[in-house]
Amino acid sequence: MMISPLRHVSGARFFSSHSYVQGFSAAIGNTPLIYLKSVSEKTGSKIFGKAEFQNPGGSVKDRAALGLVRDAEERGLIKPGGTVVEGTAGNTGIGLAHVCRAKGYNCVIYMPDTQSQEKIDLLRMLGADVRPVPAVPFDNPRNYNHQAREFAQNISNAIWTNQFDNTANANAHYLSTGPEIWEQTHGEIDGFVCATGTGGTLAGIGKYLKEKSGSKVQIWLADPPGSVLTSYVTSEGKLVERSGSSITEGIGQGRITDNLATFVNDLSGAFTVPDSKSIAMLYELLDTEGLYLGASSALNVVAAVELAQRFGPGSTIVTILCDGAYRYQSRLFSKKWLASKGLDQSIPLHLKKYAVL
Which residues of this protein are in contact with ligand PMP, per CB under 6 A?
59-61, 90-91, 196-201, 249-251, 294, 296, 322-323
Question: For residue 204, what are the CA distances in angstroms to 100, 169, 200, 308?
Answer: 23, 8, 6, 22
Cβ-based nearer residue to ligand PMP, 60 or 347: 60
Query: Residue 37 catalytic?
Result: no
Q: Minimum CB separation from ligand PMP for residue 254, in Å? A: 14
Of the listed 37, 42, 50, 61, which one is catalytic?
A: 61
Residue 26, phi-psi category: left (phi > 0), alpha (psi -120 to 50), beta (remainder): alpha
Helix (H) or strand (E) holding 348, with range, is none
Q: Which residue is nearest to ligand PMP (CB)?
A: 250
Alpha-carbon distance of 14 to 228, in angstroms, equals 33
Q: Count the residues in the chain.
A: 357
Cβ-based nearer residue to ligand PMP, 83 or 167: 167
Alpha-carbon distance of 192 to 212, in angstroms, equals 13
Cβ-based nearer residue to ligand PMP, 152 or 293: 293
Question: For residue 129, what are the CA distances in angstroms to 57, 334, 355?
Answer: 17, 31, 35
Cβ-based nearer residue to ligand PMP, 223 or 289: 223
Q: Minimum CB separation from ligand PMP for residue 154, in Å? A: 26
Give me the phi and psi of 345, to 5 degrees please. Answer: -75, -10
Q: Minimum CB separation from ligand PMP for residue 99, in Å? A: 15
The residues annotated with a catalytic role in the active site are 61
